[in-house]
Structure 1
């Protein structure tokens, strides 16, 4: 047996947030452990789950400050389990995921103006194959440190999906998508790679953002910070 901790939240409880320790069976997945706690010890424990096979992404949580899928992760002694970040906690490990989905809308991260004459070659399809495997777990969104200081930042969840459609030859207006991500978007990323590290599907948002920057320059945009660096150099 091992002991893990779970950060819990209930708006009607005083205090509303507590950390509870539980003795659980070693070798089980975190989702199995959460289910056992709920079924055998505390039926009020609340968490999300779906496919139980790393396909739906609904069971994503944070363990020791790192995003994981509960159905794939096996707890270790002393682990601290918490909800994902940047969404209001509804109860325990369940958060409101609306803020992440709103970034997709602001970025226009979908095939908006399809060219009926466009033909997608196997090579072009392979270019965005990984991005198409996104399971909407929001791990990359939760892992992004930029959102701590700039809540308006589009974040890796939206930007990597935006690259998916900017690179799609069927999109008749890729420049419109590029224009939409210039503010609080592609240039605000610090390229820390936290999003890439936590993606359970092996998607690389950091690289996708670099590709979006390259495409932005090709379409006449530039990093707004470059002017500041230039001025600094002249003043110096």
Structure 2
């Protein structure tokens, strides 16, 4: 079996004896037996920590969960500083959590039903693997876009009954935020936890409308009537 790895903008091919195994096992095999300079990230090896996220054939996956196929092309995540080979610096992406102020602003005492817990139960499963961030096409044209996982986190807290100041978070995700999303669903497709950032962003748009916000791009559309009036 042969796989290719993008290393410092150079594609290196490796021939391996494996037929069916995880990508992470293959990476360790290469590092142990063929090239000990190969650099990548891993931790739990169980699909829990998200450290080993990479791109395979143009799609974001967890290396510890992806079954290797002959001819696979492995690359680092997009929109991250590549430190070496498949290892990237995730600090810039983490800053989006600060931009979105995705935490409780003003806590209030309240009772929470099991139904209310289920509303944000899935969003709380985010492992910050950055797969959705790497898959987002908006970041290619707008590097300041807050990004999917930070907006999912924002939804998680604006939908929390303990939050008494939803508007503060809603105010902070208007610019380079929910209206910049194209709703393409690429983030949802690659999430290893089954989270749906696209739907979360749509819910945030609905909450924003309740506070008087609307899509700023809508005002620039003339719908073919620009010459009338």
Aligned position for 1:3: 2
Gaps of 5+ in 2: none
| Aligned length in residues | 227
2:35 is aligned with 1:35: no
TM-score (norm 2): 0.96
Aligned position for 1:157: 149
- Alpha-carbon distance in 2 for matches of 1:107, 1:114: 17
2:166 is aligned with 1:174: yes
Secondary structure of the corresponding residue to residue 60 of structure 2: strand
Give runs of aligned pairs for residues 195-214 of structure 1, distance below 5 A.
195-214=187-206
Aligned position for 2:40: 47
CA contact (8 A) 2:2 2:70 kept: yes
Give runs of aligned pairs for residues 117-196 of structure 1, distance below 5 A.
117-196=109-188
- Alpha-carbon distance in 2 for matches of 1:88, 1:69: 18
Where does structure 1 differ by over 3 angstroms across 4 or more consecutive aligned residues? none
CA contact (8 A) 1:86 1:99 kept: no
Q: Deviations over 1:67-99 (max 9, x none)?
A: 000001011111110000111100110111011
- Alpha-carbon distance in 1 for matches of 2:62, 2:189: 13
CA contact (8 A) 1:107 1:154 kept: yes
- Alpha-carbon distance in 2 for matches of 1:232, 1:113: 45
Gaps of 5+ in 1: 10-16
2:76 pairs, out of 83, 88, 92, with 83
TM-score (norm 1): 0.93
2:72 is aligned with 1:73: no
Q: Which range is displaced more, 171-180 or 117-126? A: 117-126
**CA drift at 1:231:** 7.4
- Alpha-carbon distance in 2 for matches of 1:132, 1:138: 15
